[in-house]
Every structure is written in C-alpha cells, then in structure tokens.
Structure 1
Amino acid sequence: MRGARAVLTRKPRTDAKRDRGQIVAVARAAFAAEGLDLPVREIARRAGLGVATVYRHFPSRSDLISAVLVEQVTLCGAEMRAALADPDPWRALSGTIRRFAERQVSDRGLNEALLGSHAAGAPFAEQRRAHAGALARLVERARSAGAVRDGVSVEDVRVGLLAIASFRALPAEKAAAATQRLANLLLAGLSQRQP
C-alpha cells in the first residue's frame, strides 16, 4: 500500500495542471499585448492565483517567458509545415504572409522577443532559421509555379515582412489597419496575376 501511495503522489494533480495551463494562457495574452516586462505578480493577479503558485510552476520569470515563447514557436512551426504541404503555392505563400501580418498586431510583445533583440528570443534562433528556410521554399515554389512575378526573391518577401513588422510600434488600433493594408500591397506586388 505504501508503494501505491508513492506512485499516486508523483502524478501531477489535476488542479496543478489546470493552474499551469491558466498561468501560461494568461501570460501569453498579457505578453502578446503588453510585452515581456509585465511583472509576475500581475500575471498571477490576472490568473486569479497567488504569486507563490506561479513561482511553484515557473521558478523564475524567464521560465514563464520561455514556456510562452515555446508555445508560440511551436504554433509557427506547425503553420509553416502546413503551408509547405499546401498543394497551391500562391495560397501557401500568401496565407503565410497574412498570418505573419496578423501576428504583428495580435502578438506584438511576443514577436518583439522572437524577432527583435530581446534576450528571451535567443534560445529560438535555430527555429527562426528553420522558419526562414521554409519561407524560402515557399517563395521558390511560388516562383516555379509562375504564381509570383519573375525575379521575385525571398529577400524581396523578407523586406516586405520587415516593413509589416515595423508597424508593431504603432498604437494597436492604427497598427491593425496599416498592417492589413501593407500585407495587401505586398501580395499585390508579388502576384503574377494582373488586376
């Protein structure tokens, strides 16, 4: 009986799993909207938990930030794999550009960390290189299929994405409209289809 009890206590409690998920979800939304400098006590307050509970799951602030960024990078990787699997090269490329644009508004703080110079983004350099390689393959596929204008390179697309990313500095309400408009202009400029 004593051995059975030891095994049971090693399993994470249901409420502990729920608390951890709640902390990550709240932190993700808060960091996306307000940046990574938000205090842990504010994350705990928004999650309806004590600060000690947050630190029990994430012993340091950087552990919490990493958990949120891992989730974000994993989602981006899954979307890039789905785009590469899409049989329509233009839809795959244009959808990737549109998702990137949407994230510049919805995930501002997270993207600053992942795409900027914030130290929290450094551990994800390899994943960023993999995503960049996937983007290059998407552009090449679209060019080979005649879906983009002759001479369009991955560098052209990257310049457009950098321009879109620059709108993160705008107030949220202006960023949304400007980002969407620039994404539309970029896609119109890339497309082989004539109006």
Structure 2
Amino acid sequence: MTGDLGNLRYISPWYGGGMPPDPSLPNRRDARRNRDLFIEHAKATFAEHGVDASLERIAREAGLAIGTLYRHFPTRVDLLLAVFEPKLRDFLATAEAALKMADPWEGFLVFLEALCGAQAYDRGFNDFIARRFPRDERTEVMHDRVCQLARSILSRAQAAGVVRPDIAEADLIALLWANSRIAEATRQVAPGVWRRHMHLVIDGFRAGDRHELPEPSLSPEQLYRVMARLGE
C-alpha cells in the first residue's frame, strides 16, 4: 500500500509531498528536436555539397534560425562531428576487423574497400576523412587512429610479401582523393563503377613484377600538411 501511494504521489504532484512539474522539460524536448533536425539536414546537405556547404542553408532547410544552429554547434567542426562520428566509428570497427584477418591481402582489400566505399556516396564524409582539422583535438585523435590502422594494415601486407614495399600511407590517401572524383563524376550514371577503378589501382599495389616509380611518395609530414591545407 505504501508503494502504491508512493507511485501515486510521483504521478500526481497534487498529492502531498509530490514534486511540481519541471518547467524546463518542454524546452529540453524542443532543444533535442532542433538538434536532431540540424543533424538530419546537415547529413543530406554535406553528402551532396561537401563539408564546406553553407550552414545558413542547413538552418533554412531545417526551418530554424542560424543563431539556433550556432547555439547547438558553435563551430562547423562541432556539426561535422555530430554528423560523421557514427559513420567513422563504423569504419574504424571494420578496419580493426581487417587488421585481424588471417589473409593480409584480404585484410588490405577489405580496408581499402571500406575506406573508399564509405566516401563514394557521401561527399561530406569524403571531405571529412581526407582532410585534417589541426585546431580540433577530437578530430585529430580520430584521424590519427585511421592513419595508425592504415599503417598497420599496410605494413602487415608488405611483411607478408603481398604488397610492394615502396607503397606508403600517402599512396592510400591519394587513392581516396582520386576515388572521390571518379565517384562524383559517375554517381548519377553508374554509381558502382568507382569499384572497378579502385581495383585497377589496387592491382598496382601488388608485389611482383613492377616498374620503378618516377616520384617518391609524400612523406608523413608532407601528407599532414596537404590534409591540413584541405581542411582550412
């Protein structure tokens, strides 16, 4: 009986000792709804126009004021993280699994397929994964982990003798840059053709008969500078 009265007092604050309604709850619900609207419209806009898309356009399509957007996401990177962090975490999980595959070449392929596939239909994610944002520690941690996994998967395949020894991490990022342009050019006509060109390039990564490359790869420092410049 005491328990029933306790529940009754909780449900109806007009019973003695009950807590009054919290006036902030509707505001919290509105704020959450607005935040979800911004993320929903940002996801679609970034996918079509890339991470440099107009934030004013995103706010307008969400039916809200730009000031409201900035209250939820003070910087563009805050909004990018809200939109892309779930997708990035899925990719990292796939990369972790690729690193543990018994066949190093298959692990290498799975990693590159996941990397290129994640950005083939999403220009915004392509921009996000292929750029650096040095002023934001959160993105730096994520990008460092992507690069660490890329190096580990590449080194493992090279140690097994299935990937040519002169391939560097920067060559994998260059594949990402090239693939994004192919995917963007063909998306409306042949949305899966990027995979053909990706595998043509990957065949050039195989160990075996090969020509000497006419230019050295970007060094890690040069690669970082290029990615940081793209993120400016």
Shared fold, TM over 0.5? yes
- How has the CA–CA distance of structure 1 residues 17 and 92 changed in structure 2, closer, same or farther, with 3 Å as cutoff? farther
| Count, aligned residues | 190
1:85 aligned to 2:100?
yes
How far residue 182 of structure 1 moved from its aligned partner, in angstroms, is: 2.9
Distance across 1 between alignment mates of 2:28 and 2:21: 13
Which residue does the alignment assign to 2:184? Answer: 172
Distance across 1 between alignment mates of 2:181 and 2:203: 24
Distance across 1 between alignment mates of 2:77 and 2:207: 45
Letter in 2 for 1:105: A
- SS of the residue corresponding to residue 31 of structure 1 reads helix
How far residue 34 of structure 1 moved from its aligned partner, in angstroms, is: 0.3
Letter in 2 for 1:50: L
Q: 2:152 aligns with which of 100, 122, 137?
A: 137
CA RMSD of aligned residues (A): 3.8
1:94 aligned to 2:109?
yes
Deviations 1:106-128 (CA, angstroms, capped at 9, x unpaired): 23233324423666777522322
How far residue 5 of structure 1 moved from its aligned partner, in angstroms, is: 4.5
Distance across 2 between alignment mates of 1:3 and 1:11: 20
Distance across 2 between alignment mates of 1:189 and 1:97: 13
Deviations 1:77-100 (CA, angstroms, capped at 9, x unpaired): 223223223344322210111122
| Structure (1/2) with the larger helix percentage | 1
Contact conserved, 1:89 with 1:141, CA < 8 A, in 2? yes
More divergent stretch after superposition (7-16 vs 179-188)? 7-16
- Where structure 2 has 5 or more consecutive residues not aligned to the other structure, the ranges are 1-12, 209-232
TM-score (normalised: structure 1) = 0.70
TM-score (normalised: structure 2) = 0.61
Letter in 2 for 1:90: W
Distance across 2 between alignment mates of 1:188 and 1:169: 19
Deviations 1:37-80 (CA, angstroms, capped at 9, x unpaired): 32233213433x32255344334544323422434443332232
Q: Which has the higher contact order (CA 8 A, sep 6+)?
A: 1
- Where structure 1 has 5 or more consecutive residues not aligned to the other structure, the ranges are none
1:32 aligned to 2:47?
yes
Report % sequence identity. Answer: 25
